[in-house]
Amino acid sequence: MRTIFITLDYPLYCRLISFFGTHSVPYLAWRVNRKSINMKKNIFEEYGSWKPISDINFYDIIKYPVWVWCIQVDEGGVPDGGDETAMRPILNSVEVPIDHVAPPLILLKIKSTEYYASGLYNNDTKKIESISVYIKNDILDPNEINNLSKPVIYTAIPRINGIENKEFLSQLTNIDKAV
């Protein structure tokens, strides 16, 4: 059996995928200039400028509800001038990538309140971890908010596995995890 290597432009690549299906394509991901094709969803993902996770604020997460670790999407693993805490927003999708090793940061809405939050979605455990709540320009732990009713229900703003408004439950307000 002979192996033939060819270079494909994106439109031709998409036509081949639609004709043969993703199971016939030997590559799981194709990355060019901070862009990639998610083979499961057949989406062309584009990433924005990186920021350390500690610098991602309410306006960033509202504008781009899904952030991924640079170690997942950058060729060298860490951007120039960055470190292992660097994340990039997905610019053109509101679907949570479930094929990443490191859990992405996603936007959440706290049900029956005006509060928004963010957390790391772990697809293996189906949990949200390291939850932070945004109040004005402050980022707080859930236990620092006095008027949250129990149980706390977090609703995912981006789609997870194609499901919109997926809910996660936290029985206690002093825990930064939800199932």
Helix (H) or strand (E) holding 70: helix 70-73
Mention every residue, 6+ apart, whose C-beta is less than 8 A from residue 48. Answer: 64, 88, 89, 90, 91
pTM value is 0.73
Handedness of CA 130, 166, 157, 74 (dihedral sign): positive
Percent of the chain clearing pLDDT 90 (strictly above): 42
pLDDT in tens, 94-145: 999 888 778 999 999 999 999 999 999 999 999 999 999 999 888 999 888 8
CA distance 49 to 68: 11
Max mean pLDDT range (7-11, 68-72, 86-90, 104-108): 104-108
